[in-house]
Amino acid sequence: MDAQDDKLDQLQAGIQRRFGSTVTVHVANKQITVELAASDLLRCCGELRDNVDWQFNQLIDLCGVDYLTYGRDEWATDTATYEGFSRGVMLQPTFENSPKVNGRFAVVYHLLSTVLNHRVRLKVFAPGDPPLMPSVIGIWQSANWYEREAFDLYGILFNGHPDLRRILTDYGFIGHPFRKDFPLIGQVEMRYDATAQRVIYEPVSIAPRTLVPKVIRKVGSSENA
């Protein structure tokens, strides 16, 4: 075990010991992930920032995740041909045995200690419909724009945010474009109307079409013989 692995093990054990059964801590690809409930978020974040053994003084990223189709395989590719867009690829009518998750939307926080040079990831499922999370702006000011981005793209609300409004899409945008059920062609299109001398919104005029994934096989494999 090298020094980095030993450091990760100590950090993992310390977090698990301090928060007990309220969190689940695991390590993958030398990255610690802490899963916890939204009701415990502010308490745990404050502790992670202020505890002298951790000193996570910087929030370097916050993003939303949509688990709507998590673990589901829409396409059967076993009988696909070796070239082009195979019409042998068939859309599956139902999804079975897909992994279970604690909800549809989650918020992921990436924390950094610039003092002790270690990192941790928090994953919290947002309860409610619409999904609602407590804002961590009072702990890390950098959460301001990150939370606005998660609201804009996923529709996740952050209780206590001082100015929760869209940040990437325009003011007339409808819906949240990073949601898995958001249409790929959008819902409305915008253009400048010379007669009205203003920007107007109209129903999208692009005709939807189904795309079939391309299946790539290794050249020279026994299947190509």
Q: Domain with 159 in it: what CATH number? A: 3.30.460.80
* Domain of residue 7, residue span: 3-67+103-169
DSSP 8-class letter at 208? P
Domain-located, residue 74? no
Residues 154, 152: Cα–Cα separation, whole Å: 6
Residues 116, 213: Cα–Cα separation, whole Å: 45
Domain-located, residue 212? no
Residues 205, 165: Cα–Cα separation, whole Å: 28
Spell out the per-residue pLDDT of the chain, length 225, in tens: 577 778 888 999 999 999 999 999 999 888 999 999 999 999 999 999 999 999 999 999 999 999 998 877 655 555 555 555 554 445 555 555 567 778 899 999 999 999 999 999 999 999 999 999 999 999 999 999 999 999 999 999 999 999 999 999 887 788 899 999 888 777 788 889 999 999 888 888 877 666 666 666 666 555 544
C-alpha 171 chain-centroid distance: 23
Domain-located, residue 92? no
Domain-located, residue 225? no
The predicted pLDDT at position 79 comes to 59
Burial tier of 158 (Cβ tally within 10 Å: 0-12, 13-18, 19+) = buried
Domain-located, residue 164? yes
Instruction: Judge whether 189 and 201 are in contact, CB under 8 Å.
Output: yes
DSSP 8-class letter at 204? -
Helix (H, G, I), strand (E, B) or coil at 64: strand
Residues 178, 51: Cα–Cα separation, whole Å: 35
Domain tally, the chain: 1
| Strand ranges in 72-223 using DSSP code E only, listed in sequence order | 75-76, 90-91, 105-113, 118-125, 132-134, 157-159, 188-193, 198-203
